[in-house]
Each structure stands twice: as structure tokens, then as C-alpha cells.
Amino acid sequence: MKRCRKCQAPATVCLARHNVRLCAAHFLEFVQKTVKKTIKKYRMINPYEKIAVAVSGGKDSAVLLDVLDSIYGETLELVGLHIDVGINAQDYSKKSLDRARDLCQKLHREFVVVDVKKEYQMSMDLVKEREERLKRPYCAVCGTLKRYLLNRTSLQLGCEKLATGHLLDDEVSVLLMNIINGNIDQLVRAGPRLEGNDSTMIARINPLYEVSELETTLYNQIKGFGFQEEECPYAKGASTTTYKNLLHNIEDNHSGTMIKFLQNYHKVLLQPLKTSYQKAQPITLNRCRNCDGPTTEEICAFCNIRYLLTKNE
């Protein structure tokens, strides 16, 4: 029988990339310590801040909120923030909303919902119906809407930072995709922490930056959280999924590949790339003439999408 490295109880979890076996209790402790080290390493959080936590209803954001609550329960004001993008297919949005609300109630944390359809007369169902108007991938539109509303609402709530549940797997797959496609402007925005910009853009942090999808899955199973297990019904064929599957195949044969890739990119390439790119193409943020939000154009992407979706109505 395999034993836990910490207490010699029967091991229930084997983490190949760490070469360690742990019981359930010590595995939860291991993930929490990993996140705490990541936060300290990248200087993400200061004591007594108010932090908005993006809670989608999925397993990753559930782990994010629970871990932050476990580590900083007495020193941080955590607010669960959910964006209801209006996907009626398979009751996807309703299930996601219910899971996110249940988690925040269980942890006794404030829960805030932005209903995109009610407040902005848009929905991802409408995006799917009028996709030809937008001339951009469905998932890219969804990401734009969520980023805008998470940023705007976090600032309105008086939060200092916005925490999102992007994992090691997410970060590496997007990084690889952007390297292959030569998306320099996206590569310079990579990293566990993105500074805010004046009063229009909140600082963003990714505390799960070095936690894998396997680890969040196991964490959820042990904790018994209910979460939205179904994939978005409109996300089939997303390019990031292809890259993630490729990386998982490599990881299965060479444990630790993803974390090495991520850490070495951050250590060796990110800062020099940022410095040279910013010198060559300094970015000037304007205020959107419609909503006063941050943009590099006259009209921000969110307002442009809203106009294209709702015009002639």
C-alpha cells in the first residue's frame, strides 16, 4: 500500500510532476501552500485588501475562492463575482449561476451577479444567432464581454484587485498558441499578474498560475463542491482546447513539462519582450466615448460588439 509522504496514512493522490503521494488532507494542504507560495513569489496580494474573485460556477474558480478563503479568510474581503452571459442551451447559464451562488453562500462570502441580458440587452445566445455580424470567433466575443464586465464591476465594488481561476494548463496552452501564431501583443500580457492602469483598469492576479487542472479536479472531488461539469455548448472546436490536449499528451510522457515551460518563459523571455515591445510600440489608453472605459480606439470592443448585435432593433 502506498503511503502519504507527510503522515504515512494511505495515499489517495499521486502527483507525478512532484513525485509525491499524499492523503486527502495533506493534498488539500499541498495545493493551498502552492497557491500561497505563488502569491508571495509574484507579490499578488497585500493584507486587508478587497478582492473580487471571478466565480464562473466551474471547478477552477471554486478552488480559487476556497483556497483564498482558507489562506486569507481573516485578512481579505473576498467578493464572488459572476457574469451571467445568457446561454440557455442545456440550461448552461442557470446551472453555472446556481453553482457559483451555492459556493459563495457556503463560504459566507458576498455574491454579485451581472446579468448581461438584463443590463445590456445582449446574450451569448444572441451572439450565436447573429454571429455573421461580428466576424470574430464566438469564444473571443464571450471573453471580451466577460473581461469588460469583470473589470468594470470590480472597480464599481471598490476592489483593489480581480482574481481569476486561470490554471497552469490554461496559461501554457494560450502561451503556446500565441507563440505559434506570433501574437506579440498577447505574449507581453502573459504572466500571473497584470498591473492596473489609472482608474479604468483593475489589477488582475492569477493565484492558480502554477496549479494544474488535475489538481483542481482532485481538490473538488475531496471537498465535495458541486460545480458546472458540462462544457459550454458553444465552445466545441475552440483552438485552445486543441493546444491543451497536445500539452496533456506531452505531460503524460514527460511530467513537469508544462511548469518548466511556463516558469522559463516568465524567467527568461517575458520581461525582455515587454521592455522591447513597449519601446517599439508604446500603448496609449484612451477613454471610450460611449462608456468611458479603457480602450486603444475611440470605441471599446465591448461597446462595438453591443452596437453590432443590437443595431436596427
* Residue 91: strand, helix, or coil: helix
The full 3-state SS of 197-265, as one line of letters, equals ECCCECEEECCCCCCCHHHHHHHHHHHCCCCCCCCCCCCCCCHHHHHHHHHHHHHHHCCCHHHHHHHHH
pLDDT digits (tens, 9 = 90+) for 134-144: 888 888 899 99
pLDDT over 70 (residue 198): no
pLDDT digits (tens, 9 = 90+) for 16-39: 999 999 999 999 999 999 999 999
Nearest to 220 by CA among 24, 71, 51: 24
Domains, the chain, with CATH or none: 42-224+238-310 (3.40.50.620)
Written as nine digits, the cell of 219 is: 481538490
CA distances from 10 to 1, 2, 20 (A): 7, 6, 13
pLDDT over 70 (residue 281): no
Range list of H helices, 57-199: 59-72, 92-106, 116-120, 124-129, 131-134, 138-156, 168-181, 184-187
Global pTM exceeds 0.75: yes
**Alpha-carbon span 256 to 268, nearest angstrom:** 18
pLDDT digits (tens, 9 = 90+) for 230-246: 788 887 766 788 899 99
Distant-in-sequence, close-in-space partners of 92: CB < 8 Å, separation ≥ 6? 228, 230, 232, 233
279 — pLDDT class (breaks 50, 70, 90): low
pLDDT over 80 (residue 309): yes
Q: Which helix (H) or strand (E) holds 308?
A: helix 301-310
Q: What is the mean pLDDT of residues 83-87?
A: 96
Written as nine digits, the cell of 164 is: 481569476
Strands 161-163 and 110-115: unpaired
Q: Which helix (H) or strand (E) holds 22?
A: strand 20-22
Nearest to 96 by CA among 142, 148, 47, 140: 142
Which stretch of 63-72, 185-194, 294-303 has the lowest confidence by average pLDDT? 185-194
